[in-house]
Amino acid sequence: MLLKPTYLIDGDVTDIDLDQLQADGIKGVIFDLDSTLLAPRSGQLTIAVQSWLDRARVMFKMAIVSNNKKDPYIDHARYLLNMPTIGRAAKPRRRAFLQALEILQLQPSEVAVIGDRPLTDVLGGQRAGMKTVLVHPLKTMNEPGWITFFRNLERCVIKS
């Protein structure tokens, strides 16, 4: 099933076991941006995510693939996170994921896509032949109830 992630994390990005990814042969990580690394439109990085990224940076090559269309925001994220960042990705299309693979100089089997949405991040990563990690949005985020409802609905579909 294309919407079923390789790894289903009951927490946010900081709850991913980096050693397990490495033991499973992962050499690179492609992140979603909004709700996965940064709260949407905030442009701010939490201390917890920064600390986790510092540990991950030693173990993996990293890039970001985002559907965000705001070029100044994408440029800010690229600077703040200090990694290649591709905006206007049109996920779940494969184009941006394949572009990130070229930047990382890795094979699809060596890369995990980490994101908070099955229909964009998981589907797009799997269509490009990569492993996928589905996380909850950042713990520090407060989303409207209707968004949380749809996120929970997506997870129910995945678990069935």
Q: Could you read off the pLDDT of 106-119 as tens digits, one per residue?
A: 999 999 999 999 98
Instruction: Return d(Cα 38, Cα 70) in angstroms, integer.
Output: 14
Contact 118, 153 (CB under 8 A): no
As a whole number of angstroms, the distance between CA 122 and CA 132 comes to 6
pLDDT of residue 3: 79
What is the separation of C-alpha 140 from the centre of its chain, rounded to a whole number of angstroms? Answer: 17
What letter represents residue 56's amino acid? A
The pLDDT of residue 159 = 64
Query: pLDDT by residue (tens digit) across 27-58?
Result: 999 999 999 999 887 888 999 999 999 999 99
| Residue of higher predicted confidence among 150 and 42 | 42
Domains annotated for the chain, with CATH where assigned, are 7-159 (3.40.50.1000)
pLDDT at 98: 98
Buried b (16+ CB within 10 A) or exposed e, 76-101: ebbeebebbbbbebebbebebbeebb
Contact (Cβ atoms closer than 8 angstroms) between residue 140 and residue 147:
no
For residue 159, the SS3 value is: helix
List Cα–Cα distances, 100 to 64, 85, 87, 105, 148, in angstroms: 8, 8, 11, 8, 29
